[in-house]
Amino acid sequence: MAAETVAGALLQVIFEKLADEALKRYARAQGIYSELENLGTELSHIQALLNDASDKEIKEGAVKLWLNDLQHLAYDIDDVLDDVATEAMHHELTLESGAITSKVRKLIAPTCCTNLSLSHRLSPTLDRITIELRHLEKRKEGLRLIKKDGKTKYKRGTETSLLEPDLVGRQGEKEKLLNKLFGGESSTENFSIIPIVGMGGVGKTTLARLLYNDTQVNDHFELKAWVCISDDFDTFKISGTILQCVTGENKEFKDLNQLQLALAEVFKDKLFLLVVDDVWSENYNDWEILVRPFRSCTPGSRIIMTTRKEELLKMLGFDHLDHLESLSNKDALSLLALHALGAENFDLHPTLRPKGEGIVGRCCGLPLALKAIGRLLRTKIEKDWDDVLDSEIWDIKDGGEIVPALRLSYHDLSADLKQLFAYCSLFPKDFVFDRDDLVLLWMAEGYLNRSPTKKPPECLGQENFKKLLSLSFFQYAPNDKSFFIMHDLMNDMANFVAREYFLRFEKKTDMMEETLAKYRHLSFIREEYVGYQKFKAFERATSLRTLLPVFAGVEQSWDQFYISNKTLDNLIHKLLLLRVLSLRRFNISEVPEFIGKLKHLRYLNLSQTKIKVIPESVGNLYNLQTLILFGCERLTQLPKSFTKLKKLRHFDIKDTPLLKKLPMGISELRSLRTLSKIIIGKEDGFAIAKLKGFENLQGELSLRGLHNVQSARHSQEVNLFLRRLTKLELKWDDDSQRGTRVIEFLNELKPHNDTLKSLGIELYAGIEFPCWVGDPSFRQLGHVSIRGCRKCTSIPPLGQLPSLKELIIQGMDEVRVIGIELTQTITVAFPSLEVLEFEDMMEWEAWSTNNEVVDVVFPCLRELYIKKCPKLSNISLDALPLLRLLEINECGDCVLRSVVRAASSITKLNITSIAGLTNEVWKGVMKNLGEVEEVSLAECNEIRYLWESEVETSKVLVNLKKLSVKYCDNLVSFGVKEEDDHFRCIFLSSLMVLEIRNCKKIECCCCPNSIENLIICDCESLANLSFPATPERWKKLKLLHLFDCKKLLELIDYTNMPMLNDLRIMNCPSMDTSFSRGLWPPNLIILAVGRLKKPMSDWGPQYFPASLVALILLGESNVGNIGQLSHLLPSSLTHLWIRGFDKLESVSMGLQRLTSLHHLIIDNCTKMKHLQEETLTSLHHLQISFCPKIKHFSKTVLPSLLSLRIYGCPKLEKRYNGRGSHYWPQISHIPCIDMDLRYINDWLERKRKQRAYVETLSQ
């Protein structure tokens, strides 16, 4: 088999650039044409040697080194040609703009009249490259390289179908493991571990996936999750991934303890299956911490662990392990036949059988190797089978642990596919990637410019991606087939073949700065804080084309990353050859103006940053193809120079609410294929008719400002039906338009029905919808939202959409009745709908799903939200058998009564401000809540008691786990009558979380012993908090929060709370606690105290447990120096929050013992003047807020800081704020600096969401 070299692909790109007429014209004008001609001549001599070199590099290291040197030179040549082409583009744009000076006009004069600046700048580089090329050619003699024609590759046709091969040779293993999954084997835990142990490539993950997706398994287990571990055993990230997988939600956590409490709540009494794939860690403690939350599950739960390592399993008690062995020769031959021939055996290809048997012997029974080789042979003729069998690659020993079969598959790839695969070496193991994102990166690197049929590079990239997927270089992600991963062994091979030019900079990477200089592409594992020292080494890598942050594992929605201004400025100034730059999710507020100097840049990702404006210099990025500003919520302005970006193909500005106007002339950017938001303006804005110029628009599109369109005729010219849109949002900014014109306009905006998956319509002013809205031909449409269409009198027939899963209807004031018009004449209405939301339907009166035509309505509905529908009273619903979550806000009690009667399986009920919800009505509702696990009541002011009898209630609410009551002004107590301790022991024995907030009249609260999390806030009449007087009381309590309860007295001895780890008691002035005697729960982790009956400064010595790491102190008026509270400051603290000490002037004395302190917050200490932190050498995070008298802080603490937040401190802000500040250099190295009080709410909101989600799931 003849192989192609990656260098050959790059040389071909260079020859194509040298042949470009525009570049040649400009080179002549600049006086460098002859030098470029010489380069082409030298390269053509070397190109003739590549076929021979590609054959010899397999075994001859010197030839491999020669090819590496050639590729480095090819990179340099490509950079020079790109430089010339960019200058030519600049020249053309200058001519077009009319801003032509006499000096510029001379550029098109004869060659003798040259602009010496470009020639002077590039000539030394061109001379060096030419000399090195000649030296390369001379080395051919010593390497015995000769000119050699490439062999023609013959291909046979592919088979029409391929049988599913995953079970070949594994039926017995699967049945055995299924028996273990369903069996009742004994275990000391509620869950048991089922290990799948074997060498790499033997099929461990494939077998686990077969089990995970098995129908019986799906029916048996209530919850399932899959997580990849690899060699980075990060318990926090792994736990977050598991929680996201089982809940479908991506919420914020900053603390492992809170996250695992949430996990424990989710798994509580649930039968779950967890696959922990690719475990490398042998640390027993890591595993013990990870599985802590799983102990709350139902017995019979299972964890499947795939691993190559045995040590951890032995520590877990597995003395005798069954290894997943390689396939037998018979099964291996069958698997090869499936992938190579599309047949179960070689019976129809007898001449290939001996060759197949030989290849099977070479693959050592590894399924991954057999699959890769089989896919390689699928299009080969018989002679190629001999070449594969006899290849020298089988015997190469320099590849470390690289499987020869995989290396052979790579060797057979075309040069184009080789470089595409090599690029993926930038991804860490188990990295989940998106096809379209990867194609944009490939395109930016220039890998997709060679299409004989002139296909768009995106289409070529998708085709090549499909080829690599079919050849097993990529695999589908285990949980989601819309994403992809690489097998660990493929990842190893990518690193091996790309190691000369690509570097993945990981936490453990240790490399000399000088070594970095050779790399052209670099990725780094993104950490929360990127300091200056770590990235200083990157400044030496001045040849870099790629700087790409990546993440290990699954990225969480709350993840934010910080990079210092100093780091960012220095990198951009030094890395002038970048083609790919991503700063995605970094907390940067401005883009350096110098970014306009990165003239080679093709891909710029600034998504989900805090930037407000894009600098004008971005208009100088003439080569830019992709600009991603998605999720830049503070972005208000795009540069006027934007229209100079003639090569821009993808511009993503969705979720940029403050961006109200597009740059003038954006319609001239005719190459755009992605423009996610278009804002229709008035006379001086973007006209909708200009949309017709974007012939290639596809993907997601949001059309805003549609009220500015004056005629439906303009929308006819747009013809969205010709665009391949997957998501369409149509938004008017007001509903003042009238008549049939607006209906005709919406009718003309009909999208293509084969591709649309999401549709949103907002503030549409028609009285009815055109017939295409709800047309069942939109077979892929899964999400519909209709908001603020206040003139419409009816809802379109959305029940006909076969794939609709989520429907949101809001603000339709003229709708009074919803019934058969929503479903029309089909037998099953809303066959796939899972989530339904009605909100702000002020005139809605009746809702019925009963009619003679439709047999079934909402067969899959799981979540129902009805909010702000005050007139809805006539409800007639068929059964809702799968409804689990019901939320009703600001409606009448009849809505609640009617829905709970139709839904007997509700597990979560949230109700707020229900008119007419009396004690008697609530009593009737409760009778239908036998399955409910969570109940939340808020602003229900007619309720005085939740139940009459605790005993009777316990017979109904047998599954209740969480109860939350907020702002119920007339609630006096839970029960009309209290039971004695004998009955209270069994009262609501499943209840684990109890939350009471702002119930002003509640006087007493009786809690069952099952409570694990108890939160009571702002209940000013509460005096008595009691538990049954049994030995078990308080034993299960893990979290206790008591805030602003003025009459609440002492509780109990806190040392009798062995499970308590989060204790917060603040502003309870009647409480005389045992704290003053130094008694604390033995496993306390977080403590917040202050403003109790006895001042903290008067407490005696305290004996805190060693587990205490976080302390919040709420201020008292008698403390002037932090030394008065030294008895409350154990050396174990890592987090300290000092808040509201009105007379505190200094913290210089008292913190010196806190050698482990990482986080310090000083808040609302209005008299504080000094902050001396010389002894706080471990401090990483400092926040000072609303301390107006502080002028400065010590320099000694600044070098170690990773974050600095200053709010409401005018003297500090004046001293340090802004790049122009004299003291700015002292802090410019800190990754996170925030001094903008306007955005403190962003930070507080993230913290609020974190707390709210913890309280929702776990507390």
Owner of token pair 């990702």? 605
Residue 1169 has pLDDT above 90, yes or no: no
Identify which of 89-98, 820-829, 1120-1129 has the greatest average pLDDT: 1120-1129
Please, are residues 289 and 239 in contact by the beta-carbon 8 Å criterion?
no
The DSSP secondary structure of 61-121, one letter per residue, reads: HHHHHHHHHHHHHHHHHHHHHHHHHHHHHHHHHHHHHT---HHHHGGGS-TTS--HHHHHH
> In the prediction, which pLDDT does 595 show?
94
Q: Is the dihedral of CA 1158, 1163, 1165, 1171 positive or negative?
A: positive
Q: Which of 135, 132, 115, 108 is nearest to 32 (CA)?
A: 115
**CB 583, CB 564: distance < 8 Å:** no
Q: For residues 629 and 607, what is the distance between their CA atoms, to the nearest angstrom?
A: 4
pLDDT digit string, tens, across residues 21-45: 989 999 998 889 999 999 999 999 8
Position 1195 pLDDT exceeds 90: no
Is pTM, for the whole model, over 0.95?
no
Taking a C-beta distance cutoff of 8 angstroms, is the pair 818, 841 a contact?
A: no
Does residue 100 surpass a pLDDT of 50? no
**Between residues 733 and 2, the one the model is more confident about:** 733
CB atoms within 10 A of CB 302: 25
- Residues pairing with 279 in the sheet: 230, 307
DSSP state of 952: H
- Assign 1255 a pLDDT band (cuts: 50, 70, 90): very low
Q: To 5 degrees, how large is the angle CA 374–CA 376–CA 378?
A: 70
Mean pLDDT of the region 229-244 = 81
Instruction: Provide the 3-class DSSP secondary structure of residue 33.
Output: helix
Dihedral sign for Cα atoms in the order 49, 55, 56, 57: positive
More confident residue, 109 or 95: 95
Q: What residues contact 575, with CB distance under 8 A and at least 6 apart?
A: 538, 539, 541, 542, 544, 547, 598
Q: How far apart are alpha carbons 665 and 687 in whole angstroms?
A: 11
Largest interatomic CA distance in the chain: 107
DSSP string for residues in 423-451: HGGGSPTT--B-HHHHHHHHHHTTTT---
The better pLDDT of the pair 1164, 981 is held by: 1164
Whole-number Å distance between alpha carbons of 337 and 705: 59
Residue 1145, C-beta contacts closer than 8 angstroms, at least 6 positions apart: 1120, 1121, 1167, 1168, 1169, 1170
Query: Of 359-363, 549-553, 788-792, 816-820, which gets the smallest average pLDDT?
Result: 549-553
Band of pLDDT at residue 579, cut at 50, 70 and 90 = very high
Q: Which two tokens stand for residue 1220?
A: 């122009």
pLDDT at 564: 85
> Per residue, what are the HEC states of 739-767?
HHHHHHHHHHCCCCCCCCCEEEEECCCCC
CB neighbours of 821 closer than 8 A, spacing ≥ 6?
794, 795, 797
In this predicted model, what pLDDT tens digit does every residue of 895-934 receive, in sequence order?
999 999 999 889 999 999 999 999 999 988 988 898 999 9
Cα–Cα distance for residue pair 975/1026, rounded to 1 Å = 14
Q: Which of 401, 322, 417 lies closest to 368, judged by CA?
A: 401
Q: What's residue 954's pLDDT?
A: 75
Q: Mean pLDDT of all residues in the chain? A: 85
**Contact (CB, 8 A) for 491 and 515:** no
Residue length of the chain: 1259
**Mean pLDDT over residues 74-97, rounded?**
88
Q: How far is CA 443 from the centre of its chain?
A: 23
**DSSP-derived secondary structure for 696-725:** T-EEEEEEE-GGG---HHHHHHH-GGGSEE
Predicted pLDDT at 402: 85
Dihedral sign of CA atoms 808, 811, 814, 817 in order: positive
Among the listed residues 521, 524, 518, 583, the one whose alpha carbon sits nearest the alpha carbon of residue 546: 521
pLDDT at 251 over 80: no
Residue 1197: per-residue pLDDT? 59
Shortest CA distance to 935 belongs to which of 902, 912, 903?
912
Question: What average pLDDT score do residues 600-619 get?
Answer: 96
Distance CA 310, CA 297 (A): 26
> Tokens standing for 261?
């409490």
d(CA 405, CA 408): 5
Question: Tell me: the pLDDT tens digits for 338-388?
Answer: 998 988 889 889 999 999 999 999 998 999 999 999 998 988 888 889 989
Q: How far is CA 847 from CA 457, 817, 876, 1068, 1215, in A?
A: 51, 6, 6, 48, 63
Nearest alpha carbon to residue 1035 among 1081, 1087, 978, 1098: 1081
Q: What is the pLDDT of residues 704-715, one digit of tens each?
A: 988 888 776 766
- Is residue 444 a contact partner of residue 192, using CB atoms and an 8 Å limit? no
What integer pLDDT is reported at residue 733 of this predicted model?
Answer: 84
pLDDT for position 108: 41
